[in-house]
Structure formats: structure tokens, C-alpha cells
Amino acid sequence: MARMKPQPGIMDIALYVGGASHIEGVSDVVKLSSNENPFGPSPAAIAAVERSARNLHRYPSTDHAALRNAIAGAHGLDVARIICGVGSDEIITFLCQAYAGSGDEVIHTQHGFAMYRISALAAGATPVEVAERDRTVDVDAILAACTDRTRLVFIANPANPTGTFIALDEVERLADGLPEQCLLVLDGAYAEFEPGYDGGATLVEKRENIVMTRTFSKLYGLGGLRVGWGYACQDVIDVLNRVRGPFNLSSTALEAAEAALGDRSYTEKCLSENTKMRLWLTEALRELGVGVDDSHANFVLARFGSAAEADACEAHLKTQGLIVRRVGGYKLPEALRITVGDESACRRVVHAISQFK
Ligand code: PMP
């Protein structure tokens, strides 16, 4: 037994389980559990990875200028107010480290992304869970839960694992109603999947209390390289840069992300395939009697009659080589989150669930 005790709160963090991509004894496995791009990275990103190999003896850029410039250009943002992280996970970590400590409260919603609670606990702060309404972020409930100790409020829009979305004026109403000492973190990991939505960038321009986070792990197909970014007012970015390690992102990751961002025709193709297959999958599952909300992301949340039924369905899918995500940890034990795969994967899912039903 080690004599050193961890900081308070650390042992409340559950160890991560999941992420498996193979099934013992089953061939032709499709992983539909991490909302990855089924078509893989853009060929331009793969070429950038290969090119970057020649310079692996060099430390990477510390200011990420090339990638930040590319992001600023692609999204019409101020380059000085962009920060890059090892996935958007790291931006979430920076926010908690920099703004929430012992005695502070960090709000996340009932089915919110697990990292909000983990990062809050790791920073010594107290996570506060707020109920959702119909699996959707409830602005009034969040405002009612704020206290003079609330330092951060995390919402994902579109949300994971529910796939639901709230309109920008609702987000703005939330930002307007927050106590003075509190930052709203608008997690846009799935923002690209909602047509016409800018992840809240326009709100960040108007309000100093909003931070937008984004990622290259979903639409851009670079989950394995771990690249995310944040956008906020200059003061917040200056604070976050103080907790950021100087070489947090590898040169390979920086160069691949820049190339992926430049390959617009590839991302547009992936996006239109996702929309087409998501609608198809949603309808097909509903026809089988599975509950599915309209999803605004690259996955659907399939709700069964009970946790036992979801368990049995997951087990059956596994025998068919299909890995989906249990969302019991998100307090949705009757549901399975299924990434929208390519057409063949979606057809396999529907076929397997029809056998199960
Ligand atoms: N936010 C949400 C809502 C997510 O679903 C994820 C990934 N599952 C992330 C953030 C983190 O993504 P990454 O660290 O790969 O950028």
C-alpha cells in the first residue's frame, strides 16, 4: 500500500474503460464507439505525416503559429485568440487548472461529456451536475444551479452522447445570466456537423465570458494525433497559455491538422456522407421500434426498453463484429451510442438489430 495519498477528489475519478477496436475471435470488426470519421484522415493529412517524419529530431513549434493561422483563416477568427491543445480534452484540462480550484464549483449537465467532471476533480474543484430536459441542455436549470462559487459551466453543443442541440440565442441567454466570476465553455467537438453553426464563435466575439473549444478528432479524422483548439477573449487565452506546456503538440500533429483543414473537398464529402447515413440510420432504427432523437452530430443515441435490453443488444452486436458505446456512465443505461459509419457499417448495424429485435 503506497503511503502517499492523492489529492482529495482524485479517487472519485473512475478509470476509463472503452476504446477497444477488436473483438476476440471475431473478424471484420467495425468500431462505432468513439465517433471517429469512418473514412479516415484526408490523404493530404497522411502526406503531411509522412513529410513530418524527416524533422522528428526537432522540437515542435511552441506557438503553433502555422496551425493557428490556418484555423484563423478557415474560420475568420483572430489568430491571437486561438490556443491549441492535445485534443480539446487538453483545453478542458487547462480551463479547470487555471480557473477552478478547491472550494470552486464546475457545472456540467446530466449527460455531459465525462472529461468535464474528471478535469474538475483533478483540479481539486467540485463538479456539480445539472439535470437536462428531454436529454437536452436546460439553460434555466443551469442558471438556477449557479452560486457565487461557480467558476466554469461546460456544455457541449451539439451534445455528446445525446446528439441534441440548443439554438445560439439559448446559449446567449445562458452566457448573459451567468454570475460575473463564471466562464461558459461551449464545447464544439461536433460543431461541424450542424449546418450553418459556427460553434459559437460569433458569441465569443461579443462576450468575454465564453470560451469555444473545437477538435480535429471528429470530422477531420485525426483522433489518433490529438489536436484540439480553443477560442476566447485575449485575457483568457493569456491565462490558458500559462498552464500550457511549451511543446504540448507534436510537429506531426500540427502539420497533419493544418493539411486536414486545407482539404475542404474531402471534409465536405465526409460531411455529406455523414448526414445522409445518419438520417437513414435514424429512420431505420425507428422503424425497428428503437427510440432515437434527431441527432446533430456523427452518432445516434439508440434507446431501448431497459438497461437489460441495451446490454443484450450490445452483446449481440458484438457477436456480429460491431462495437458500440454503452452510455451507462452518462446515466443512460438503456441506451447505446452508435457512431454513424459508412453505408456498409450502417446496414450491418440495422441488420444486426433487426435480428435482435
Ligand atoms: N468534447 C466532446 C463533447 C467529445 O465528445 C469529445 C471526444 N469524445 C471531446 C470533447 C474531446 O475530443 P478530443 O480530445 O479528441 O479533441
- Verify cis geometry, omega within 30 degrees of 0, for the bond prior to 60: no
Q: What is the pLDDT along the chain (357 residues), one digit of tens a residue?
A: 678 999 999 999 988 877 788 888 888 999 999 999 999 999 999 999 999 999 999 999 999 999 999 999 999 999 999 999 999 999 999 999 999 999 999 999 999 999 999 999 999 999 999 999 999 999 999 999 999 999 999 999 999 999 999 999 999 999 999 999 999 999 999 999 999 999 999 999 999 999 999 999 999 999 999 999 999 999 999 999 999 999 999 999 999 999 999 999 999 999 999 999 999 999 999 999 999 999 999 999 999 999 999 999 999 999 999 999 998 665 899 999 999 999 999 999 999 999 987
**H or E stretch at 128:** strand 126-130
User: 223 CB less than 6 Å from ligand 1?
Assistant: yes
CA–centroid distance, 41 to ligand 1, in Å, is 17
CA–centroid distance, 218 to ligand 1, in Å, is 8
User: 109 CB less than 6 Å from ligand 1?
Assistant: no
Distance CA 357, CA 346 (A): 16
For atom 5 of ligand 1, which residue has the closest CA?
Answer: 160
Give the pLDDT of residue 178.
98
Counting from 1 in the atom list of ligand 1, the atom nearest the Cα of 226 is 15
- Tell me the longest C-alpha to C-alpha distance in the chain: 57
Give the pLDDT of residue 330.
59
Give the pLDDT of residue 1.
61
Give the pLDDT of residue 25.
85
Cell numbers for 330: 452518462
Distance CA 350, CA 32 (A): 13
CA–centroid distance, 235 to ligand 1, in Å, is 24
Distance CA 81, CA 238 (A): 9
Counting from 1 in the atom list of ligand 1, the atom nearest the Cα of 35 is 8
CA–centroid distance, 4 to ligand 1, in Å, is 32
Give the pLDDT of residue 10.
93
Residue for cell digits 445560439?
168
Best mutation site among 115, 211, 213 for ligand 1 pocket (most ligand atoms within 8 Å of CB): 115
User: 116 CB less than 6 Å from ligand 1?
Assistant: no
Residues 92-111 pLDDT 10s: 999 999 999 999 999 999 99
pTM: 0.96
Q: Which of 208, 206, 229 is closest to 217 using CA atoms?
A: 229
CA–centroid distance, 113 to ligand 1, in Å, is 8
Give the pLDDT of residue 180.
97
For atom 12 of ligand 1, which residue has the closest CA?
Answer: 88
The rounded Cα 131 to chain-centroid distance in angstroms is 19
User: 187 CB less than 6 Å from ligand 1?
Assistant: yes
Give the pLDDT of residue 153.
98
- Using the CB atoms, write b or e for 120-142: b if 16+ within 10 Å: bbbbbbbbbebebeebbbbbeeb
For atom 1 of ligand 1, which residue has the closest CA?
Answer: 189
Long-range contacts of 280-285 (CB under 8 A, 24+ apart): 280/346, 281/338, 281/340, 281/346, 281/349, 281/350, 284/346, 284/350, 285/350, 285/353
